[in-house]
Amino acid sequence: MFSGFMVNTWVAGTLVAVVAALVGFFAVLRGATFLAHAVPNGAFAGAAGASLIGVNPVLGLGCFALAGALGISWLSRRGRSDAVTALSLVLMLGLGLLFLSLSQEYSAELFSLLFGDVVGVSSSELVPVAALGLVGVVAVVLLFRPLLLSSVVPEVAWARGLDPSRLELAFLVVMALATTMTVPLVGAFLMFSLMVAPAAAARSLVSRPLAAVGLAVLLALVVTWSAIALAYVSNWPIGFFVGALGALAFVLSRALAARADRRAAGPAPAAAPAEATA
Amino acid sequence: MPIFGPGFFQSSPVQVALLLGATVSVVCGAVGVFAVLRAQSFAGHALADLGATGGSAAFLIGVSQLWGFVVACALAAGSMQLSGLQRPRSRDVATGIVLGAGLGLAALFLYFDTTVSNATGVSVTILFGSLFAVDPGLLPAMAGLGAVSLLITLFLFRPLLLSSVNPDMAQARGVPVRAVTLAYLVALALAVALSAMAVGAVLSTALLIGPAATALRLTSSPLRALLLAALLGLLITSASVVLAYDSYYWPPAGRGWPVSFFVVALVFLVYLATELPRPGRRRRGA
């Protein structure tokens, strides 16, 4: 499980989980869930196009993810944003379908691009994926405070001289980067689960932003590592495990949060003296 | 090269495709106007993706994917209504996570479809569909489901419109908003299932949202938008069938281009055309 080609998978999976959780945290915070679902599908078209004309898939993934993210944001400003997102999403999926149907290995390639492939990261892709991952992490760290401020209290961010449209642009670029590296491993459809589920689970458990980000990264790592191991052992598609484990993490965290709420609301007076003695 | 390739009008798959495209696009145009007005594009898309789960499961047990789409979409719509999450942001997150789990399950079912029952190409059929590949025997059933969906939408037109645009005022006027919403979700689920049959589960949002969003940019009257959306959908699907038929002679030759691609591309182009500057309109506005 840890030998030869699987090393690529573990290294890429770890990076993917960290970046996806970081970007996902802001996607949840900004209510950009649908966008997070749409952009990876653009990457799918890119990978399909790259395999058609025979260039490195990372290049195709990157170009299409970026074009998709910027295109959606440009069109959204002039119309109903959710309808525009839906239309751009299906256009990119349709393009991916066209590229794949014109190339040779149709079904197998389609399946692994959409639902992930545990050996989807080849050695020639590992270096660009790792580089993109590091750039993504650095970008989120640099943008952390302004992005947080403009996501939570846009007015204050505005007053401090932060340009919301420029921040939005930076966020979109980082999201496109993140999807570029994730799609070959996790698949275009399930990338979204990896971004949103750990972040949403973490947010329902802790409220401090930094702690929530840390927890989101931890959860994403657990989900990704377990998914890789389970997919390797069972030979089932890795996307299934990512989707199922992500949903499980979310449901469990919701249940935990609800129980904590109830306990806090219930025997509150009894808890007070104990606190006083401590 | 002629627009209508040789044998176009004699081909029976073409006739089935045209008929099917017409049925589906009229239903989707009507229902889609309300999906756009209610800002439910994401919900409609989630229904479609969950439909993929149903479709792939139906294939596994040897039933037509139509019934898988219908059952999965209806169940998903029902649980969306029951969960009753009101704040849009948490609703989107919950929708998204259910969607992710559903797609994961679809991946597993499709994997079983291809390995256990050894049916190659089933992923493409369920996810991306093809107007040319639909079993003609399903046409009556699909027309019936479409008629139910269309009748619900037309019958509830006014209360639905009011509760979509202003739920509080609808409540005050005595419209049973919950019942109307539930009936609408049934219509939406049926429309999505039909659209999934026509252009595949993951592309079905195109027919549902595209013509409706375009129509709503061109006219502000809901009734006119409904008619225009149905008409646009009809034109788009027919043109796609023609183009796909012609594309057998296109490069890189030998194979036709997928008809679902033409539907999606035309839907997007038609929407984009409403973005073009309209000098006449602008002068009047200034």
Phi, psi of A127 (to 5 degrees): -65, -50
| Interface with A, mutate which of B98, B195, B264, B274 (most A CBs under 10 A) | B264
Alpha-carbon gap, residue B150 to A156, rounded angstroms: 48
The interface pTM score, or ipTM, of the predicted complex is 0.85
CB-nearest partner of B252 from A83, A102, A241: A102
Contact (CB<8Å) B252/A193? no
Q: How many CB atoms lie within 10 A of CB A163?
A: 13
Hey, is the C-beta of A250 within 8 angstroms of any chain B C-beta?
A: yes
CB-nearest partner of A83 from B96, B127, B209: B209
Give this prediction's pTM.
Answer: 0.85
Taking Cα atoms as reference points, which of A144, A148, A93, A31 lies closest to residue B42? Answer: A31
* CB within 8 Å of B284: residues ≥ 6 apart: none
Hey, is the C-beta of A67 within 8 angstroms of any chain B C-beta?
A: no
Alpha-carbon gap, residue B43 to B77, rounded angstroms: 9
Residue A277 C-alpha, separation from nearest chain B C-alpha, in angstroms = 39
Rounded to 5°, the CA angle B18-B24-B27 comes to: 135
Kindly list the residues from chain A whose CB atom is less than 8 angstroms away from the CB atom of residue B110.
Answer: 111, 115, 237
Structure tokens at B7: 């044998």
Which residue in chain A has the smallest CA separation from B248? A102
Kindly list the residues from chain B whose CB atom is less than 8 angstroms away from the CB atom of residue A86.
Answer: 41-42, 44-45, 205, 209
Alpha-carbon gap, residue A216 to A197, rounded angstroms: 9
Domains of chain A: 6-265 (1.10.3470.10)
Taking Cα atoms as reference points, which of A90, A82, A40, A87 lies closest to residue A65? Answer: A40
Which residue in chain A has the smallest CA separation from B36? A83
Kindly list the residues from chain B whose CB atom is less than 8 angstroms away from the CB atom of residue A90.
Answer: 202-203, 205-206, 210, 264, 267-268
Decide: B58 and B67 in contact? Cβ < 8 Å: yes
- N-term to C-term CA, chain B: 45
| pLDDT (tens place) for every residue of chain A, 278 residues total | 666 678 888 888 888 899 889 998 988 888 888 888 888 888 888 888 888 888 877 788 888 888 888 888 888 877 777 888 888 888 988 898 888 888 766 667 777 788 877 776 777 778 888 888 888 889 888 888 888 888 777 777 777 777 777 888 888 888 888 877 777 788 888 888 888 899 999 988 888 888 999 999 999 999 999 999 998 888 888 889 999 999 999 889 888 888 888 877 765 444 444 443 33
Hey, is the C-beta of B107 within 8 angstroms of any chain A C-beta?
A: yes
Taking Cα atoms as reference points, which of B209, B215, B168 lies closest to residue B188? Answer: B209
Give the pLDDT score at A177.
81
Alpha-carbon gap, residue B57 to B79, rounded angstroms: 19
DSSP SS3 for A4: coil
Residue B15 C-alpha, separation from nearest chain A C-alpha, in angstroms = 23
Residues in chain B with pLDDT values less than 50: 86, 282-286
Hey, is the C-beta of B168 within 8 angstroms of any chain A C-beta?
A: no
Task: Please give the biggest Cα pair distance in chain A.
Answer: 73
C-alpha B27: how far from chain center: 9
Rounded to 5°, the CA angle B105-B123-A248 comes to: 10
Alpha-carbon gap, residue A163 to A179, rounded angstroms: 25
Domain boundaries, chain B: 12-285
Q: How many CB atoms lie within 10 A of CB B118?
A: 8
Decide: B263 and B203 in contact? Cβ < 8 Å: yes
Which residue in chain B has the smallest CA separation from A190? B100
Q: How many CB atoms lie within 10 A of CB A210?
A: 10
Hey, is the C-beta of B102 within 8 angstroms of any chain A C-beta?
A: yes
Contact (CB<8Å) A247/B97? yes
Hey, is the C-beta of B213 within 8 angstroms of any chain A C-beta?
A: yes
Give the pLDDT score at B283.
41
Q: Of how many residues is chain B composed?
A: 286
Residue A170 C-alpha, separation from nearest chain B C-alpha, in angstroms = 22
Decide: B198 and B237 in contact? Cβ < 8 Å: yes
- DSSP classification of residue B174: T
Identity of the residue numbered B286: A
Alpha-carbon gap, residue A261 to A242, rounded angstroms: 28
At the top level of CATH, the class of B12-285 is mainly alpha
Q: What is the DSSP string of A46-100?
A: HHHHHHHHTS-HHHHHHHHHHHHHHHHHHHHTTS-HHHHHHHHHHHHHHHHHHHH
- DSSP classification of residue B62: T
Give the pLDDT score at B146.
93
Decide: B198 and B28 in contact? Cβ < 8 Å: no
| Interface with A, mutate which of B33, B53, B92 (most A CBs under 10 A) | B92
Kindly list the residues from chain A whose CB atom is less than 8 angstroms away from the CB atom of residue B37.
Answer: none
Give the pLDDT score at A245.
93
Give the pLDDT score at B117.
66
Alpha-carbon gap, residue A245 to A240, rounded angstroms: 8
Give the pLDDT score at A132.
83
C-alpha B58: how far from chain center: 19
| Interface with A, mutate which of B83, B112, B114, B209 (most A CBs under 10 A) | B209
Structure tokens at B176: 């049973």
CB-nearest partner of A86 from B45, B92, B95: B45
Between the alpha carbon of residue A3 and those of residues A7, A8, A14, A112, B55, the distances in Å are 6, 9, 16, 21, 37
Hey, is the C-beta of B263 within 8 angstroms of any chain A C-beta?
A: yes
Residue B9 C-alpha, separation from nearest chain A C-alpha, in angstroms = 25
Kindly list the residues from chain B whose CB atom is less than 8 angstroms away from the CB atom of residue A94.
Answer: 203, 206, 258, 260-261, 263-265
Identity of the residue numbered B228: L
Q: Of how many residues is chain A composed?
A: 278
Decide: B110 and B56 in contact? Cβ < 8 Å: yes
Alpha-carbon gap, residue A37 to B21, rounded angstroms: 27
Alpha-carbon gap, residue B81 to A229, rounded angstroms: 36
